[in-house]
Structure 1
Amino acid sequence: MKPSTHRPTQAVIDLAAIRANIENFKTYIAKKNGITPEIWAVVKANGYGHGAIRVAQSADDLVSGFCVSNLDEAIELRSHGIVKPILVLSGIVPDDVHIAVNLRVTLTVPSLDWLKMVAALDTLKDLDTSHLKFHIKVDSGMGRIGVTSVDEANDIIALGDKLGMDFDGIFTHFATADEVNTDQFLSQKTMFDELVNGLTRRPRFVHSSNSAAGIWHTETIQDIERLGDALYGLNPSGTALDMTYKITQALTLKSELTHIKIIPEGATVGYGADFVASKDTIVGTVPIGYADGWTRDMTGFYVLVDGQKCQIIGRVSMDQMTIRLPERLPIGTKVTLIGEDGAEKITVNDVAAHRGTINYEVVCLLSDRIKRKYTNG
């Protein structure tokens, strides 16, 4: 999707905030654990909506590698000059292994069956498999992908050796590291630790720590810290757990009033005519809608205009929404959807709480139609 550069709606990304979030995490871990693990920045899903390329380029000198969700995201990073290690966190289509080899992209092996499919490829004989680094994924309780026994992991290592591949790492992912109750977390940690201890050999990288584990369970940090949500200044738990070090939210979302009118008592606004004015009402139109990721359930929430909270009225449309204004204002007046205006502030967590979801989803849903503007780069 092409960004709408001629529309006033834009997400402003403070790259200095992202860099500070990395530095603050490093300082926190050094003081807490006295260790210096490698930091791999998680820039999947277009950098959690912040823009993977610019985020990766800005963070490049502060991190040791990057994590993405699929091969296309890795290709995008390589095509924009990122040369550091890139780990694809999910399994890829076996037929595409040659792309990973050629671009020196590290793959996740999710199962022995997957690696057998790779071994059966006719094209494998034409590849220099010594350039294919892989990490074994362990399903310690997440239930998505990964091996569940040490025997399967060791069979993968043996087959990888036979194929001339580089067994570079093994990892898992915690399902509840951001929650108060630690029962599931401890069960997963125990399973992963026992499996790693049973390997025929230890790879270069053993890692299980995402942002949440790195913040609230620093004892899990091993060779790599996969820094995701906290990289962007977002608390992985939402509001359930307090942050243990300083983070700064990197994204703000801004727009402008494009139309202002006064509607009389009894007039309706929006699809379904759900909003009915109880008195003469000043209505402003803002060019953002559910096609931009500003979803229909934002009706009833608010934005900031001239430092005041202004309620979203009527249904959010595909491209526009309407708000109740305290007074008639000029076209072009700034509207803050996420960020600060005067003494008022709207955070990503505030938006998530209104939707009944998590901050990850709010920023990841911001579509490519919204122009990204970068500051302090």
Structure 2
Amino acid sequence: MDSTHFYRDTWVEIDLDCIFENVKNMKRFLPEQVDIMAVVKANAYGHGDVEVAKTALEAGATGLAVAFIDEAISLRHGGINAPILVLGASRPTDVAIAAEHNISLTIYSQEWLDEVLKNNHGNTPLTLHLKLDTGMGRLGIKEKGELQTILKTIEENPQIQLEGVFTHFATADEINTSYFDQQYQNFLQMLEWMPNKPKMIHCGNSATGYRFPEKVFNVVRLGIGMYGMTPSLEIKDQLPYQLQQAISIHSKLVHVKRITKGEKISYGATFTADEDMWVGTVPVGYADGWLRKLQNTHVLIDGELCQIIGRICMDQFMVRLPKKLPVDTKVTLIGKQKDKFISVDDVANALDTINYEVTCSISFRVPRIFLRNKRIIEVRNPLLRHY
């Protein structure tokens, strides 16, 4: 037994052809000198880090970005040798392990750099990107004096290579561009504080790349767009090409029963049948990322929208069926059946959240099936990884 098997009737499908096309289309759209850094943090936004990373690199990405060192090491263990940048804060005591795996880290303060030098007893070569805080207020240097001190420290320590400098926009996906413009001007000003600029300068996420390709310098960090989801509904009409949603989520009916008018369903008895009806049980719950707030929304069964009735349980929910359907009938939570389609955005709207959160919330216990040319090329089930 290994992680290519699973023994439940719920799974995620990732169409890697969509990932490939989304990266390829962005590469075609951007100016020729601009590279793509594929953002595969959070298990590639819930899609599968190694598989997505390999596909993005095949499609033309030249580097990868993650949130912390563990995610970078996971990619290395998956056989990926491409450049990887950790965007978040790393512990200064962990620089040796980053250097050992050829992982670039982010400098975000002089204090952090001092601690790195103090802990780097063997003077291990280390590649770094400098984070500038232009208005996101998260990580990064804001003051000219601190920046100049950092640059001087780097000059005095040849084991440190400054490979890049970057910032992040807070409102690139909003129609009103005033704050974006302010951050961009801040970035230009701060770059002037650097007499010798590193080879990589990047400020653009997906939204910036789509809307302001002339302002991304020489790298775009392609995240949400790579997965075929719009950065925000506000700019959906401003996208330069059609995005292809890569993820779909499916299950099956495991039990079908007839209930009579007046019977109640699930915890709290919040649903009461208004007539005799057929009810199906689906083995998905909030432990899988299908949250209780999705009660009364719909899934696709036999090509029809079917309402979730009663509270969603940890591992199961119930649906109102249009008629008696056989056990093992396919249920689509996100994706297409016949002429109907449920998008990630549809689910996000129901949850009053963003599409990022929906896919990132799909639990590790839901197996991922990876497709190329409509054929299964890999199955990953983390629950069975130790067997």
Tell me, yes or no, whether TM beats 0.5: yes
Correspondence for 2:368: 372
Cα distance in 2, alignment partners of residues 113 and 268 from structure 1 = 60
Structure 1 residue 273 displacement after superposition? 0.7
Structure 1 residue 300 displacement after superposition? 1.1
Q: How does 1:238-257 map to 2 (within 5 A)?
A: 238-242=233-237, 243-257=239-253
Correspondence for 1:157: 151
Contact 2:107 2:131 in 1 (8 A): yes
Correspondence for 1:8: 9
Cα distance in 2, alignment partners of residues 4 and 358 from structure 1 = 31
Structure 1 residue 307 displacement after superposition? 0.8
Correspondence for 1:53: 50
Correspondence for 2:102: 104
Contact 1:17 1:250 in 2 (8 A): yes
Correspondence for 1:177: 172
Which of 193, 197, 219 matches 1:224? Answer: 219
Correspondence for 2:74: 76
Structure 1 residue 127 displacement after superposition? 3.5
Which of 22, 35, 39 matches 1:38? Answer: 35
* 1:276-313 deviations in Å (ceiling 9; x for gaps): 11111211111111100111111011000111000011
Instruction: Find runs of 4+ consecutive structure 1 residues off by over 4 angstroms.
Output: none
Counterpart code for 2:162: F
Counterpart code for 1:45: A
* 1:14-55 deviations in Å (ceiling 9; x for gaps): 1111001111111122xxxx4331111000000000000111
Cα distance in 2, alignment partners of residues 167 and 89 from structure 1 = 14
1:352 aligns with 2:348: yes
Cα distance in 2, alignment partners of residues 294 and 158 from structure 1 = 51
Structure 1 residue 246 displacement after superposition? 2.0
Contact 1:285 1:320 in 2 (8 A): yes
Cα distance in 1, alignment partners of residues 4 and 367 from structure 2 = 5
Unaligned regions of 5+ residues in structure 2, if any? 378-387
TM-score (norm 2): 0.93
Structure 1 residue 153 displacement after superposition? 1.8
Counterpart code for 2:221: R
Contact 1:67 1:89 in 2 (8 A): yes
Which of 104, 114, 136 matches 1:142? Answer: 136
Counterpart code for 2:157: L
Structure 1 residue 238 displacement after superposition? 3.0
* 1:66-92 deviations in Å (ceiling 9; x for gaps): 000000000011111111110000110
1:293 aligns with 2:294: no
Contact 2:307 2:319 in 1 (8 A): yes
Contact 1:3 1:368 in 2 (8 A): no
Cα distance in 2, alignment partners of residues 77 and 98 from structure 1 = 17
Contact 2:174 2:234 in 1 (8 A): no
Contact 1:292 1:369 in 2 (8 A): yes
Counterpart code for 2:32: I
Q: Against the structure 1 CA distance between its residues 239 and 268, is the aligned structure 2 distance closer, same or farther, given a 3 Å change threshold?
A: farther
Correspondence for 2:382: none
Counterpart code for 2:245: Q
Cα distance in 2, alignment partners of residues 311 and 368 from structure 1 = 26
Contact 1:154 1:200 in 2 (8 A): no
Cα distance in 1, alignment partners of residues 147 and 292 from structure 2 = 45
Contact 2:303 2:338 in 1 (8 A): yes
Cα distance in 1, alignment partners of residues 296 and 5 from structure 2 = 26
Correspondence for 2:228: 233
Unaligned regions of 5+ residues in structure 1, if any? none
Which of 177, 180, 193 matches 2:188? Answer: 193
Cα distance in 1, alignment partners of residues 346 and 329 from structure 2 = 23
Correspondence for 2:385: none
Cα distance in 2, alignment partners of residues 184 and 324 from structure 1 = 47
Counterpart code for 1:185: F
Cα distance in 1, alignment partners of residues 215 and 155 from structure 2 = 28
1:332 aligns with 2:328: yes
Contact 1:3 1:369 in 2 (8 A): no
* 1:192-234 deviations in Å (ceiling 9; x for gaps): 1100012131111111000010011212211111000000101
Counterpart code for 1:49: G
Correspondence for 2:19: 18
Alignment RMSD (CA, Å): 1.3
Q: Against the structure 1 CA distance between its residues 354 and 239, is the aligned structure 2 distance closer, same or farther, given a 3 Å change threshold?
A: farther
TM-score (norm 1): 0.95
Counterpart code for 1:253: I
